[in-house]
């Protein structure tokens, strides 16, 4: 049988089985990310062409079983039942076959064509394991293909098998798994629910097993009448009389079968009993005395390289190219072409002054993204989540929240959306509300610009690192407030599987970095470009739409808006309209703060933006400004995402006000105490 053009493949597997890596290799750039209808769970799908046929591949959320305990598991099971995929692509971790088989057996019971990808086979020998693939294939009754998604081995063969596989005979052999009385009981339930399953398109064998396993959701889907319920209850009561509690019978017999299966198909040599490389590394990395200092040292090194001499030199070099070569050359070209003064100013002062100043920090963003990708792809970030469980417990969260919070350092929107993976609604909402306190990458250009203007290089690194630490500290305070007000219930326990350490591949690193850089450049070329043009216009014109002579920016539209906020910001040491306006544009996108300051403090020829900023700020007021930027309300895109994920405009707006109030308070403390300390030092 050849699958037709409308075929849909469902990609299913345990977390850390390599499913996402395989999805990326299969679909390449033909991917789309959105939400499943009606739920805030991420939906990934892409397209692949096989022998002229366009196949849609749907990457379902990672799960351990089809017994739904979370929104992700409900989405996955719902798609498998209602989406009726033509083929199930089941990704199995070959190095941990026993753990993966439970989901595989459940998927096979759905009676749909399925192909198993035995992934990470390149690591089997290192782990002292050998799998008899042919025997495993015969026992399960489904085709199995050995692959290595990371090494891009066997993937094309796997897809070819999926494209041609005609049927699935696994369900005819369920007696292999269950004892005869249990198998007979399942068949009796099948007969009772046969019509209901047929009418609603639910796999009969799967539904019968799930009902036997006390799955109420399946019962609700089938709309069983009272007679059917009584008959099923009688069957399960008979099973209980023989085996004990019926809701553990299925799992117990499946795991016994999996144990026999793995004993037959998996051979171990002496290496299998020796500690693996990951276990040896974990003895150090997760050691209670070494783990935290090591983690802090790793992050300190990342900050030092990113914001210290290497990152600063790279950004300074790009800035010189933009402002010493590109802008003057472009300016001269426009003047020689007889372009109007206002157009020259718009292009050189507005567009290049705004967008160019942000693009100049791209090298530092690249370094930050590179290091985060290395830590994530190597498996170290999972250890960091494990390590952070105890500190996060004190904030009412668990280590599970660490990954969404960490993603918040890259982008608040990504961090908020990553909170969908949390099972507890309480923990999910708390994580969403706390994520904006962390420094997203969009704030980094602001930190770099201000710290470079007022502090020596080594001190600038310390200042930036301190800002990240302040964000964490204030987030902890906010978590305490939330625990005592909105979220008083106990949090859920933290369970997490630690993936093996792996060397990041250049292809994976490039994919992660290029996606993030592309997102940054799209923002620079759209939102920030538009913001720069609007800011230039409002700087150049007054409320009567008359263009102001040079030096009369205080009469501009922009200044008029800024003056309204000056009384609020004056106690923070930033009571001048330029800073106020920069903070307003930061509500659109945090990078826009850099562009706004560059346009408003457009330096004269021969001077730098740093010199211009030093005329406006003092070191203490600059520090106060940075703290306010760190903590005040997130950008428009982040706020919109928070409102959607929280399912509450009222909660999102209320927290927006709370966060802004905390930012004002923190900046006030920094400025007032900083000024006091500076005066005391002067007197001494």
7-50 pLDDT, tens digit each:
889 999 988 788 888 888 888 765 665 555 544 456 688 888 88
Residue 367's alpha-carbon distances to 291, 401, 611, in angstroms, are 24, 25, 27
Could you state, in order of their start, the residue ranges of all structural domains in the chain?
A: 8-172, 179-249, 292-683
On the question of pLDDT at 363 being above 90, the answer is no
- 8-172: CATH number: 3.40.50.300
Q: Which two tokens stand for residue 208?
A: 């019968």
Round to whole Å and give the CA distance between 454 and 608: 13
Q: What is the pTM of this model?
A: 0.62
**How far does the chain reach from its first CA to its final CA, in angstroms?**
89
Please give the C-alpha separations between residue 679 and each of 529, 620, 675, in angstroms, as whole numbers.
42, 11, 6
The tens digit of pLDDT for each residue in 380-398 reads: 877 777 777 677 777 777 6
Distance CA 23, CA 119 (A): 12
CA distance 395 to 401: 11
**The domain defined by 179-249 carries CATH number 1.10.287:** yes
* Mean pLDDT over each residue of the chain, to the nearest integer: 80
Please name which of 611, 310, 668 lies closest in space to residue 449, comparing C-alpha atoms. Answer: 611
Pairing of strands 53-59, 42-50: antiparallel
130 membership: H or E segment, kind and range: strand 129-131
Q: Average pLDDT in the 490-504 region?
A: 64
> What average pLDDT does the segment 439-447 reach?
83
Tokens of 125: 């020998």
Kindly tell me if the per-residue pLDDT of 72 is higher than 80: no
CA distance 329 to 321: 11
Average pLDDT over residues 614-625: 90
Residues present in the chain in total: 684
Please tell me whether residue 622 adopts helix, strand or coil conformation: helix
What average pLDDT does this structure show over 337-351? 79
| 595 close to 358: Cβ distance less than 8 angstroms | yes
**Pick the residue with more confidence: 60 or 521?**
60
Kindly state the tokens that stand for 464.
């930036």
* CB count in 10 Å sphere of residue 282: 19
Start-end of H helices in 379-505 = 380-387, 389-394, 402-410, 412-418, 425-434, 444-454, 457-484
> Which residue has tokens 């990041």?
504
Per-residue pLDDT at 572 exceeds 90: yes
User: 10 Å Cβ neighbour count for 465?
Assistant: 17
Which of 199, 205, 197 is CA-nearest to residue 169? 205
Segment holding 266, helix H or strand E: strand 266-268
pLDDT digits (tens, 9 = 90+) for 82-128: 888 889 999 998 888 888 898 999 898 888 889 999 998 887 777 77
Give the contacts of 293 (CB within 8 A, at least 6 positions apart).
none
pLDDT in tens, 133-184: 899 988 888 899 999 888 888 888 988 888 876 554 444 455 578 888 888 8
Estimate to the nearest angstrom the gap between the alpha carbon of 278 and the chain centroid: 24
pLDDT in tens, 238-264: 877 777 666 678 888 888 888 888 888
- The whole-number pLDDT of residue 169 equals 46
336's tokens: 């020689």
Tell me the pairing of strands 31-35 and 42-50: antiparallel
Distance separating alpha carbons of residues 615 and 622, to the nearest angstrom: 11
Which of 97, 79, 249 minimizes the C-alpha distance to 177? 249
- 325-332 long-range contacts (CB < 8 A, ≥24 apart) are 326/352, 326/356, 327/352, 327/356
Residue from 462, 520, 74 nearest 303 by CA: 462
User: Where do we find the tokens 């002229």?
Assistant: 52
Angle between helices 577-585 and 527-540 (to 10 degrees): 150
């Amino acid at each position: 049988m050849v699958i037709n053009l409308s075929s849909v493949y469902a990609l299913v597997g345990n977390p850390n089985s390599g499913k996402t890596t395989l999805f990326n290799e299969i679909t390449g750039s033909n991917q789309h990310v959105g939400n499943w209808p009606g739920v805030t769970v991420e939906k990934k799908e892409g397209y692949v062409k096989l022998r002229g046929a366009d196949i849609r591949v749907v990457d379902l959320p990672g799960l351990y079983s089809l017994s739904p305990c979370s929104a992700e598991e409900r989405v996955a099971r719902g798609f498998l039942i209602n989406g009726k995929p033509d083929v199930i692509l089941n990704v199995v971790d070959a190095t941990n076959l026993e753990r993966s088989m439970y989901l595989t057996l459940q998927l096979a019971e759905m009676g749909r064509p399925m192909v198993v990808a035995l992934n990470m086979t390149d690591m089997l020998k290192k782990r002292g394991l050998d799998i008899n693939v042919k025997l495993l294939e015969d026992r399960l009754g489904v085709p199995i293909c050995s692959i290595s998604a990371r090494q891009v081995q066997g993937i094309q063969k796997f897809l070819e098998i999926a494209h041609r596989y005609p049927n699935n005979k696994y369900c005819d052999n369920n007696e292999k798994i269950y004892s005869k009385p249990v198998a007979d009981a399942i068949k009796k339930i099948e007969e009772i629910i046969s019509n209901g399953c047929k009418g609603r398109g639910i796999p009969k064998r799967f539904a019968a097993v799930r009902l036997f396993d006390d799955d109420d959701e399946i019962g609700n889907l089938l709309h069983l009448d009272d007679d059917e319920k009584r008959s099923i209850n009688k069957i399960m009561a008979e099973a209980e009389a023989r085996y004990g509690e019926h809701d553990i019978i299925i799992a117990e017999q499946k795991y016994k079968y999996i144990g026999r299966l793995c004993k037959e198909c998996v051979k171990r040599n002496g290496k299998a009993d020796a500690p693996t490389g990951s276990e040896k590394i974990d003895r150090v990395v997760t050691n209670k005395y070494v783990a935290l200092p090591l983690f802090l040292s790793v992050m300190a090194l990342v900050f030092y390289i990113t914001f210290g001499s290497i990152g600063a030199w790279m950004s300074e070099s790009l800035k010189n190219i933009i402002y010493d070569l590109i802008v003057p050359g472009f300016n001269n070209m426009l003047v020689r072409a007889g372009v109007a003064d206002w157009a020259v100013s718009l292009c050189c002062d507005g567009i290049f002054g705004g967008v160019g100043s942000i693009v100049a920090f791209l090298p530092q963003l690249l370094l930050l993204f590179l290091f985060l990708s290395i830590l994530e792809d190597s498996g170290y970030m999972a250890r960091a989540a494990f390590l952070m469980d105890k500190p996060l417990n004190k904030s009412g969260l668990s280590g599970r929240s660490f990954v969404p919070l960490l993603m918040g350092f890259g982008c608040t929107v990504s961090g908020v959306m990553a909170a969908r993976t949390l099972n507890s609604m309480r923990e999910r909402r708390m994580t969403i509300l706390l994520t904006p306190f962390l420094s997203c990458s969009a704030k980094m250009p602001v930190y770099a610009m201000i710290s470079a203007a007022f502090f020596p290089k080594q001190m600038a690194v310390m200042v930036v690192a301190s800002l990240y630490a302040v964000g964490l500290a204030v987030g902890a305070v906010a978590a305490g407030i939330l625990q005592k007000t909105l979220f008083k219930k106990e949090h859920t326990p933290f369970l997490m599987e630690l993936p093996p350490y792996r060397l990041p591949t250049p292809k994976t690193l490039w994919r992660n970095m290029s996606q993030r850089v592309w997102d940054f450049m799209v923002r620079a070329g759209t939102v920030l470009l538009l913001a720069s043009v609007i800011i230039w216009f409002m700087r150049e014109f007054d409320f009567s739409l008359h263009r102001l002579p040079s030096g009369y920016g205080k009469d501009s539209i922009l200044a008029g808006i800024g003056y309204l906020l000056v009384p609020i910001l004056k106690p923070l040491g930033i009571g001048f309209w330029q800073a106020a306006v920069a903070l307003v544009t930061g509500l659109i996108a945090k990078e826009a703060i850099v562009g706004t300051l560059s346009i408003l403090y457009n330096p004269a020829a021969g001077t730098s933006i740093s010199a211009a900023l030093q005329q406006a700020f003092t070191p203490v007021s600059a520090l106060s400004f940075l703290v306010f930027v760190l903590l005040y309300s997130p950008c428009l895109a982040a706020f919109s995402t928070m409102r959607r994920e929280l399912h509450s405009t009222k909660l999102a707006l209320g927290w927006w006000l709370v966060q802004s109030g905390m930012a004002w308070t923190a900046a006030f403390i920094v400025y007032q105490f900083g000024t006091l300390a500076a005066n005391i030092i002067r007197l001494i």
